[in-house]
Amino acid sequence: MAPHASLNTSDISEKARRDLLQLLEGVRGKKNLVLEKALAGPLNLLVKFSTLQEYGVDKPFFLENDNVDSSQRNIVFLVRGEKAKTVMAVANQIKRLRNKGQIDHEFSIFWVPRRTMVSDQILEEAGVLGEANVTECPLYFIPLAEDLLSLELDDCLSDLYLRKDPTSVYLSAKALMLLQQKHGVFPRIIGKGDNAKRLADLLIRMRTELTASESSNGGGTSFLGLTPSSSIDSLIIIDREVDFPTVLLTQLTYEGLIDEVFGIQANQTEVDSSIVGAAPQQPSQNAGSASVAPQALKRKIAIDSKDTLYNTLSDSNFAIVGNLLNKVARRLQSSYESRQIASKSTAELREFVAKLPGYQAEQASLKLHTSLAEEIIKHTRSELFTRPLEVQQNIMSGADPTTQHDTIEELIDRAIPLSTILRLLCLESCTNAGMRAKDLENFKRAVLHGYGQQHLLTLSSLEKMGLLTTRSSGLGGAAAKPGSVTNYTSVRRSLRLWDDEVNEADPNDISYVFSGYASLSVRLVQSIVQKHYLAALVRPAGQQAAAAAQGWRLFEDAAKNIRGATFDETQTGEEKAVKARQMLNGAGHADSGKTVVVFFLGGVCRAEIAALRFVAKKLAEGGGKRLLICTTAIVKGDGVVGAAIETGRFGTGV
């Protein structure tokens, strides 16, 4: 048996692709594919449409559009089976098609990622269960980049924290189990947060279940797969609940800002074509103001690590993106100019021509990113961007939040988007363990007046998520029950969350992504994998603590002040298996090359990813571990509060 290869994300996408295509192959003949909209993006990352066509897919449909026609006999549904609503939609479509039916349709349903009891029941009640072939399509992690895996569960945030629905915990556990089966058990599971604890418990239980069932089958040979992994160092689970403020802040990296301004879905962003110049008939004066040209064509742009220019830009602070672009432009120009000089010998010419496509591609991407950056600058210069940012920075640096209230009130009066206001309010509430009852009441009234009475529901949802609370209500002050709320004032000091001397151009600390604030979640990860560095940062010139501390050691005090359970479990395999493993690998495997899996339960924002990549780079320089970021979904602040916002309105006139 080969030792576990080091974790590789392309393996995962390869496997997912194979699984999917195999399923499609199982349905004979041509077929129409019905997709859930949320799955279209991830699917696009895995397979090209032309490949799907090769496998007999005739036309793709969206489930939401409700327009499947009967042009093909076979109809394949590829949908998530977790939500009763989508299952109902599937059932309705099948019924509709059957009633229309001149042709005898054959239905297949692929539940992503698993078949549930509920879905079966709903289908049965609708009377269509017997007519469809139901299978599972185990699509879990979808690699978005080399070091980034996502489950792409867009609703997981509201599921977890608003409706307290643990489905996504279960799905995460399943996904992580698959990793374990392939690469061996995580030798250590460290985490923070109540839901994270639940996930870890689930993982441990699943593992024992698996071992139990294996031994009862008498299969003694496969236990090697469940020994501590030699390629993975540990799993770190961070619950989003632990660190809401980070996602509520405006992200200041290039990628983060693209997400804030345009939105990114499965590595694709949709930008007004007038900005990036795909539709020439649009007069350039109109560029940018989406309100002027709402009917303008949207252009989809794939942004991923294939674009080398984007790679260098995506994680840097936006303040320096302009300079970077400028530099690249200069370089390109000079290489073009060198053409005239270089066109002496044919060999040189040939060399130049060979490089030409590369240059052209680079030029195109340069043009694209320059126009994107310009658009973002336009956005960031507006007062609607700078004022909230100012408030955010003040709150995070620990200024008295009451001084910010006037600004927030003014912003409400000026009717800036509700989500921005809610982000600010929630931020204040989260960092200060709730707001004073009187202030909160005033703000609630202002929000209702400003944005409509239907937001009564919004506010109560936010309260339920623990985002917007009154101080010392129920939960008790921070002193009453340590671990139930995050005590920011103390954590700010002990983990050095605020950095006054940020260097955006040449970052020396993760605080550069937010221009000052070092996100708590990433600091937690650092406190596990980068102890020396962090310890030196927190206590400059202090006594260096013991070298080989593991787990939470050194930072227990800080962790205590943060909301949610803290845990640290080690998983060891059977003695014999471990020994066998060591024999296979040659004992004394060094620490280098091992992977630390960081799992964000409830989503991660792009700025955090940037910060983690920065940490990873530092680790790699030290010849140490690799970081692999896993998450349920990529989120941004608007999404967090958006989960709570009530979209209905009183009145149909609008």
Partner 1 sequence: SNLLISEALNQLDTNSRIEKLKLAAKLLQDSRDHTLQFKAIDETQRLLKMQDAFEKDLGPGFAGLSINETMFKLIKLGNMKRAQKVQSEFKVTEKTYWWIRLRALVVKRDWNELEEI
> Is residue 616 helix, strand or coil?
helix
Taking CB under 8 A as the rule, does residue 646 contact partner 1? yes
Q: Which of 355, 381, 449, 532 binds partner 1 (CB under 8 A)?
A: 449
C-alpha 485/C-alpha 479 separation (Å) is: 9
Taking CB under 8 A as the rule, does residue 194 contact partner 1? no
Q: Which residue, 5 or 456, has its beta carbon nearer to partner 1?
A: 456
> HEC string of 360-425?
HHHHHHHHHHHHHHHHHHHHHHCHHHHHHHHHHHHHHCCCCHHHHHHHHHHHHHCCCCHHHHHHHH
Give residues with Cβ within 8 angstroms of 162, minimum separation 6: 461, 464, 465, 643, 644
Q: Which residue, 348 or 646, has its beta carbon nearer to partner 1?
A: 646
Taking CB under 8 A as the rule, does residue 479 contact partner 1? no
Residue 91: closest CA among 41, 129, 61, 146: 129
- Distance in Å from the first CA to the final CA of the chain: 66
Taking CB under 8 A as the rule, does residue 460 contact partner 1? yes
Stretch that binds partner 1, among 77-85, 156-164, 455-463, 571-579 (CB under 8 A): 455-463
Taking CB under 8 A as the rule, does residue 84 contact partner 1? no
Antiparallel, parallel or unpaired: β 74-80 and 31-35: parallel
Taking CB under 8 A as the rule, does residue 306 contact partner 1? no
C-alpha 467/C-alpha 558 separation (Å) is: 21
Phi-psi category of residue 414: left, alpha or beta, with phi > 0 → left and psi -120 to 50 → alpha: alpha
Q: Which residue, 208 or 382, has its beta carbon nearer to partner 1?
A: 382
Residues in region 587-626 near partner 1 by CB under 8 A: none
Taking CB under 8 A as the rule, does residue 11 contact partner 1? no
Stretch that binds partner 1, among 166-174, 358-366, 445-453, 556-564 (CB under 8 A): 445-453
Taking CB under 8 A as the rule, does residue 654 contact partner 1? yes
The whole-angstrom distance between residue 632's C-alpha and the CA centroid of its chain comes to 6
Q: Which of 60, 277, 450, 483 binds partner 1 (CB under 8 A)?
A: 450
C-alpha 620/C-alpha 614 separation (Å) is: 10
Q: Where does residue 205 rank: exposed (0-12), middle (13-18), buried (19+ CB within 10 A)?
A: exposed
Residue with the two structure tokens 């043009």:
367
Q: Which residue, 371 or 454, has its beta carbon nearer to partner 1?
A: 454
Q: Which residue, 532 or 649, has its beta carbon nearer to partner 1?
A: 649
Residue 275: closest CA among 384, 379, 368, 377: 368
Closest approach, Cβ 438 to partner 1, in A, equals: 11
Q: Which of 54, 390, 413, 557 binds partner 1 (CB under 8 A)?
A: 413
Taking CB under 8 A as the rule, does residue 407 contact partner 1? no
Q: b/e string for 276-306 if b means 16 or more Cβ within 10 A? A: bebeeebeeeebbebeebeebeebebebeee
Reported as half-sphere exposure (CB side, CA atoms, 13 A), residue 335 has a value of: 17
Which tokens go with 343?
């066109």
Q: Where does residue 85 rank: exposed (0-12), middle (13-18), buried (19+ CB within 10 A)?
A: exposed
Taking CB under 8 A as the rule, does residue 451 contact partner 1? yes
C-alpha 578/C-alpha 575 separation (Å) is: 5
Taking CB under 8 A as the rule, does residue 56 contact partner 1? no
Taking CB under 8 A as the rule, does residue 653 contact partner 1? yes
Q: Which of 457, 475, 580, 620 binds partner 1 (CB under 8 A)?
A: 457
Closest approach, Cβ 353 to partner 1, in A, equals: 57
Closest approach, Cβ 387 to partner 1, in A, equals: 14
Taking CB under 8 A as the rule, does residue 384 contact partner 1? no
Which tokens go with 485?
């709320």
Closest approach, Cβ 239 to partner 1, in A, equals: 26
Q: Which residue, 110 or 451, has its beta carbon nearer to partner 1?
A: 451
Per rule CB under 8 A, count of chain residues that contact partner 1 = 28
Give the x-and-dash track for 422-441 against partner 1 (CB under 8 A): -------------------x
Q: Which of 445, 481, 532, 576 binds partner 1 (CB under 8 A)?
A: 445
Taking CB under 8 A as the rule, does residue 475 contact partner 1? no
Could you give the C-alpha distances from 560 to 432, 474, 487, 524, in angstroms and in order? 16, 20, 9, 12
Stretch that binds partner 1, among 218-226, 395-403, 618-626, 643-651 (CB under 8 A): 643-651
Which tokens go with 431?
């960092």
Q: Which of 444, 496, 581, 636 binds partner 1 (CB under 8 A)?
A: 444
Taking CB under 8 A as the rule, does residue 19 contact partner 1? no
The whole-angstrom distance between residue 224's C-alpha and the CA centroid of its chain comes to 32
The DSSP line for 89-144 is HHHHHHHHHHHH-SS--EEEEEEES---HHHHHHHHHHT-GGGEEEEE-----EEE
Taking CB under 8 A as the rule, does residue 85 contact partner 1? no
Taking CB under 8 A as the rule, does residue 48 contact partner 1? no
Taking CB under 8 A as the rule, does residue 383 contact partner 1? no
Taking CB under 8 A as the rule, does residue 351 contact partner 1? no
Q: Which residue, 280 or 648, has its beta carbon nearer to partner 1?
A: 648
Taking CB under 8 A as the rule, does residue 456 contact partner 1? yes
Q: Which of 21, 88, 290, 448 binds partner 1 (CB under 8 A)?
A: 448
C-alpha 625/C-alpha 148 separation (Å) is: 15
Which positions touch partner 1 (CB under 8 A)?
A: 409-410, 412-415, 441, 444-446, 448-454, 456-457, 460, 646, 648-654
